[in-house]
Amino acid sequence: MSASSLSESSAAGIAAESGTTRAFTQSQALQARFHAAIPGGSHTYAKGDDQFPEFMPPYLVRGQGCRVWDVDGNEYVEYGMGLRSVTLGHAYAPVVQAAQKAMLDGVNLGRPTVLELEAAEDFLRTVQAGEMVKFAKNGSDVTTAAIKLARAATGRDLIAICADHPFFSTDDWFMGSTPVRAGVPNAVRELTLSFRYNDLSSVEALFLQHPRQIAALILEVEKDVPPVPGFLAGLRQLCDREGTVLIFDEIITGLRWHVGGAQAVHGVRPDLSTFGKALGNGFSIAALTGRRDLMELGGLLHDRERVFLLSTTYGAESHALAAMQAVLETYRREPVIAHMYEQGERLRLGLEQAARDQQVEDYFRVFGPACSLVYGTRDAEGKPSQPFRTLFLQETLRRGLLLPSLIISYAHKPADVDLTVERIHEALGVYRRALTDGVEVYLEGRPVKPVYRTHN
User: How many degrees, rounded to 5, is the angle at CA 101 between CA 100 and CA 105?
Assistant: 110
Taking the C-alpha atoms of residue 438 and residue 431, their distance in angstroms, rounded to an integer, is 10
Q: What pLDDT does residue 176 have?
A: 94
pLDDT in tens, 53-62: 999 989 999 9
Q: Is residue 285 within 8 Å of 323, Cβ to Cβ?
A: yes
Residue whose C-alpha is closest to residue 331's, from 250, 252, 259, 253: 259
End-to-end Cα spacing for the chain: 21
Q: Is residue 199 within 8 Å of 205, Cβ to Cβ?
A: no
Whether residue 3 has pLDDT greater than 90: no
Taking the C-alpha atoms of residue 378 and residue 392, their distance in angstroms, rounded to an integer, is 11
Q: What pLDDT does residue 20 have?
A: 54
Q: Is residue 433 within 8 Å of 442, Cβ to Cβ?
A: yes
pLDDT in tens, 368-422: 999 999 999 999 999 999 999 999 999 999 999 999 999 999 999 999 999 999 9
Whether residue 6 has pLDDT greater than 80: no
Q: What pLDDT does residue 415 have?
A: 98
C-alpha dihedral (321, 326, 332, 333), degrees to nearest 10: 170
pLDDT in tens, 18-73: 445 789 999 999 999 999 999 998 998 889 888 999 999 899 999 999 999 999 99
Section 365-370 average pLDDT = 97
pLDDT in tens, 144-174: 999 999 999 999 999 999 999 999 999 999 9
pLDDT in tens, 220-231: 999 999 999 999
Of the chain, the percentage scoring pLDDT greater than 70 comes to: 95
Taking the C-alpha atoms of residue 231 and residue 266, their distance in angstroms, rounded to an integer, is 10
> Taking each helix axis from N to C terminus, what angle separates 114-127 and 318-333, rounded to the nearest 10 degrees?
30
Residue-range domain boundaries for the chain: 8-90+336-441, 108-316
pLDDT in tens, 231-290: 999 999 999 999 999 999 999 999 999 999 999 999 999 999 999 999 999 999 999 999
Section 192-201 average pLDDT = 98
Mean pLDDT computed over every residue of the chain: 94
Taking the C-alpha atoms of residue 316 and residue 111, their distance in angstroms, rounded to an integer, is 10
pLDDT in tens, 315-333: 999 999 999 999 999 999 9
Q: What pLDDT does residue 444 have?
A: 94
Cα-based distances in Å from 142 to 250, 253, 295, 321 = 11, 15, 12, 16
Q: Is residue 254 within 8 Å of 281, Cβ to Cβ?
A: no
pLDDT in tens, 80-105: 999 999 999 999 999 999 999 999 99
- The CATH number given to 108-316 is 3.40.640.10
Overall CATH class of domain 8-90+336-441: alpha beta
- Give 307's pLDDT tier (boundaries 50, 70, 90): very high
